[in-house]
Amino acid sequence: MIIGLDVGGTHTDVVLLGDHGIECQAKIPTTHEDLLICVWKGLEAVTLGVRPHDVERIVLSTTLTTNAIAEEKLPPVGMIVSSGPGLDPEFFRTNDHYYTVSGSIDHRGREIQPLDPMEIEAVASRLRKEGVRHVGVVGKFSVRNPKHETQIQEILGDHFEYVVLGHRLSGNLNFPRRIATAYLNAAVYPLHKKFFDAVRRSLKKNGLPIPIHILKADGGTMSFDASLDLPGQTILSGPAASVMGSLPFASESVDTIVLDIGGTTTDMAVLVGTVPLLAAQGAEVGRFRTLIRALNTTSLALGGDSAVRVIDGRLHVGPDREGPAMAFGGSCPTPTDAIIVLGGDLKGDRDAAEQGMAQVARALGVSTREAAQQVFDAACRGILNAAEEMVRAINAKPVYTVHELLEGYQVQPKELLILGGPAPYFARRLQEISPYATRIVPQWEVANAVGAALARTTCELTLFVDTERGIATAPEEAFHQPVKRDFTLDKAVSLALELLTHKAVREGAKPDDMETEVLEKLQFNMVRGFYTTGKYYRVKVQVKPGLIADYRSVVERIQDTDTTAPCSTAGSS
């Protein structure tokens, strides 16, 4: 059995999955002051009477790191940045203890200016004096040659609790994002470690020595131990959880838009078949643009509780929320009120909802029912337009070869997969006003927890081979190997896949359950003075985001049962 637990903004959802599908589920209010309380309550709720060794693993998705970043409640971090010529590295300052040092590497990975060890030692002793315990070290083009970053690490020695090196974060070239990503990893490290150590201790103390896995922003999981290397990967796992929970219900043969319609926002993602699309560069969180691998999700400020107003005779839905729907005690009319007036069975106070729509009706000069219809349609169209804009943006993504430009895959969604409280109502109307077939994710209330539980380990790896310089490097894996002149692209691809498999297994994947894919494979003749002096290969491979192989039986059960009785009522709403 597997436990999936997703700590959300208001609720913490937890499921226990087994041979009978969802064996047990619970919903607990999130305790923001101490997440351990709701996590523990959730685990207790589903493990009551379960034999510990029957639970294979627990997969956790939390808002812990995301919230800390959003609220900028982060501990001091030391940043040591070596830039060389180009944009002024001061532009990318992340925090107070941000030091730029000399040293420069060029685009081929050649050292242009060496580091100054005295300078680094001075920075290190200053950081120590300032009580900084966590450090990010980033060099421009360090993914091409990590020499300076590792030299700095050596000088820093073991005086710091955590030192993260830029080249280990991603094989992508983007110095400013590398700086931000290193900063965030160093900043969330103590928080992440403290929290999960506590979870692990509690489990052990209570006789549940179950391995902990953690959901990442890219919809994959990794073991707790692996997460300590780069804890920044755990940010934004919430939206990923819902997308992964929808995957079992997507059609393999068509592209799908996933819509998670909440109170304040609608989160959107795109599936190509049953594979979710990843963000081109990496996650964006708060003011930070990062290299953290993440699903391509867009959040639209429009949901069931969005404020409805009539300004100059025109109807506006959102972007803000003034509180709950009037049917649930709020003071501002909302799409939820419109759904209730139109006959939707969302519980709540029907009279209050009528009052809200009557306000809108007066302002628009139409009947209450007509007003409700207009409000609801405006919300549906808003969501539809944003979803189509997202698809347009995905298809407009620049490509760099003639082949891709002429033959590149264009996403053409045919289906909408909808989650969220008012999902059935939105699904029906969206089907009427759009060309898409719409479906509802069964058991959508716990789809996020199901998604966390069923997600497979996923990761990515970039390999560069420069036969003129005679080296192969996979920066994320700190892999460097000399290569001969006759090294081929095929060899490069199989080396990349081998390193990828190794990485995935280390992070918790089962060797017999991973689907690898070559994302990019380019080769260039390096010519100097009309003679070929070498070859340059660039290979990017990934383990596709997806669900573990034996999820099917579980999913069939979920589809069969329309209602699942929670096995515990602990705090459930």
Partner 1 sequence: MLRAASRTGLVFFPAFDWAISPTHPEREERLLYTQDQIFEEGLLDIDGIVEFKPDLATLEDVRRVHFCAPDERSVLTESHLISAGGAMTIARAVMARKVERGFALVRPPGHHAMRVVHGARGFCNINIEAMMIEHLRAAYGVDRIAIVDTDCHHGDGTQDIYWHDPDTLFISIHQDGRTLYPGSGFHHELGGPTAMGATINIPLPPRTSEEGFLRAMEKIVLPALEEFRPELIINSAGQDNHYTDPITNMNFSAQGYATLTSMLQPHIAVLEGGYSIEGALPYVNVGIILALAGVDYSKVREPDYDPDRIRQSPDTNAYIDRLAEEIMGYLRRCPEFIAKNRATKEFAQRERTIYYDTDNILENQKERLRVCPVCSGVLSIDSLTDRGYHIYAVHIPRKACPDCVALGYEWFDAVNLRSYDRVFLQDRTTDRYEVRKA
Closer residue to partner 1 (CB): 118 or 402: 402
Q: In angstroms, what is the minimal distance from the CB of 467 to partner 1?
A: 13
Per-residue contact string for residues 28-67; x = within reach of partner 1 by CB under 8 A? ----------------------------------------
172 binds partner 1 (CB under 8 A): yes
Spatial contact of 508 and 222, defined as CB atoms under 8 Å apart: yes
β-strands 221-223, 78-82: how paired?
Answer: unpaired
Cβ nearer to partner 1, comparing 49 with 400: 400
521 is a site residue for partner 1 (CB under 8 A): no
State yes or no: cis peptide before 319, omega within 30 of 0: yes
Q: Which of 401, 481, 494, 553 binds partner 1 (CB under 8 A)?
A: 401
- Per rule CB under 8 A, is residue 410 in the interface with partner 1? no
Q: How far is the CB of 405 from partner 1 (least distance, A)?
A: 6
User: How many angstroms separate the Cα of 366 from the Cα of each of 263, 388, 509?
Assistant: 26, 30, 59
Tell me which residue has tokens 């759009």: 434
Residues near partner 1 (CB under 8 A), total: 43
Find the shortest distance in angstroms from Cβ 264 to partner 1: 25
Residue ranges in 221-240 that form contacts with partner 1 under rule CB under 8 A = none
Q: How far is CA 276 from CA 22, 258, 321, 378, 438, in A?
A: 23, 10, 29, 28, 18
- Dihedrals φ, ψ of 391, to 5°? -65, -40
β-bridge mates for residue 314, sequence order: 311
Q: Which is nearer to partner 1, 479 or 536 (CB)?
A: 536
Which of 526, 557, 566, 570: binder of partner 1 (CB under 8 A)?
Answer: 526
> Residue 281 or 561: which CB sits closer to partner 1?
281
Q: Is residue 129 involved in binding partner 1 (CB under 8 A)?
A: no
Task: Choose the stretch contacting partner 1; rule: CB under 8 A; options: 35-43, 266-274, 383-391, 398-406.
Answer: 398-406
Give the one residue of 522, 552, 553, 556 binding partner 1; rule: CB under 8 A. Answer: 522
Long-range contact set of residues 499-504: C-beta below 8 Å, sequence gap at least 24: 499/461, 499/463, 499/474, 500/459, 500/460, 500/461, 500/541, 500/542, 500/543, 502/477, 503/459, 503/461, 503/476, 503/477, 504/457, 504/458, 504/459, 504/543
Residue 535 CB, shortest distance to partner 1, in Å, is 10
Contact 520, 511 (CB under 8 A): no
| SS3 sequence of 330-353 | CCCCCHHHHHHHCCCCCCCCHHHH
Instruction: Determine the length of the chain.
Output: 573
Q: Single out the segment in contact with partner 1 by CB under 8 A; choices: 152-160, 172-180, 550-558, 561-569.
A: 172-180
Q: Is 70 in the site for partner 1 (CB under 8 A)?
A: no
- Among 183-191, 216-224, 263-271, 526-534, which window interacts with partner 1 (CB under 8 A)? 526-534
565: contact with partner 1 by CB under 8 A: no
Long-range contacts of 509-518 (CB under 8 A, 24+ apart): 509/456, 509/457, 509/543, 510/548, 512/549, 513/456, 513/548, 513/549, 514/456, 514/457, 514/543, 515/543, 515/544, 515/546, 516/541, 516/542, 516/543, 516/544, 517/541, 517/542, 517/543, 517/544, 518/493
Q: Is 209 in the site for partner 1 (CB under 8 A)?
A: no
- Does residue 175 bind partner 1 (CB under 8 A)? yes
- Does the protein bind partner 1 through residue 396 (CB under 8 A)? yes
Q: Quick check: 159 binds partner 1 (CB under 8 A)?
A: no
Binding residue for partner 1, selected from 345, 402, 435, 486, defined by CB under 8 A: 402
287 contacts partner 1 (rule: CB under 8 A): yes
Contact flag: residue 456 with partner 1 (CB under 8 A):
no
Alpha helices, H only, 507-562: 551-560
Q: Which of 10, 125, 494, 532 binds partner 1 (CB under 8 A)?
A: 532
d(C-alpha 66, C-alpha 492), whole Å? 36
- Site residues, partner 1 (CB under 8 A): 84-88, 91-92, 104, 106-108, 112, 140-141, 172-177, 281, 287, 289, 396-403, 405-406, 522, 524-527, 529-532, 536
